[in-house]
Amino acid sequence: MRVILFALLSVLLATGAWAAEPKKLKPVDIKKEILDNCSGIPFGPTIIMDAKSVTKEEMENAKADVQAFINQVDAFQVCMVKLANTLGERMSDNDKRTMGAAIDRSQKEKEALGNDYNKLVDQYNKLHK
């Protein structure tokens, strides 16, 4: 009887049924997760205009394009934060750096485009009073 009990305990311990090991979390393909869930980093419109020759309508269209891009970046960044919260412990340090770099890049592009547009508006206003 003792031999059977010992054999049963040995089998249970060997198979992990007695004391379950913590589950190993499945690694994340962070680039795929970003593309699948947040559609990748938005790219801003290129605004190449001469303040001397641009029309008011072109300025208004450029403003709409810039505002749409800013909204896309804001939505992307919110999505990234939600994705990071969802993935949680599954993310490696490298995954976290990748997400941080994507958010940083989108923020810098948003700020650069906004600054470029504001400079164009200033130049336009000076020339078309």
Looking at the predicted structure, is the pLDDT value of residue 19 above 60?
Answer: no
pLDDT tens, position by position, 22-59: 567 778 899 999 999 999 899 999 888 899 999 999 99
Looking at the predicted structure, is the pLDDT value of residue 92 above 60?
Answer: yes
According to the model, what pLDDT value does residue 94 have?
Answer: 96
According to the model, what pLDDT value does residue 22 have?
Answer: 58
Task: Note whether 58 and 117 are within 8 A (CB).
Answer: no
More confident residue, 17 or 35: 35
Mean pLDDT score across all residues of the chain: 86
Domain map (residue ranges) of the chain? 25-127
The residue type of 104 is: D
According to the model, what pLDDT value does residue 88 have?
Answer: 92
Task: Note whether 13 and 19 are within 8 A (CB).
Answer: yes
Q: What angle do CA 34, 77, 84 make, to 5 degrees?
A: 55
Write the DSSP string, 48-84: ---TTT--HHHHHHHHHHHHHHHHHHHHHHHHHHHHH
Encode 109-123: b = buried (16+ Cβ within 10 Å), e = exposed: bbeebbebbeebeee
According to the model, what pLDDT value does residue 6 have?
Answer: 45
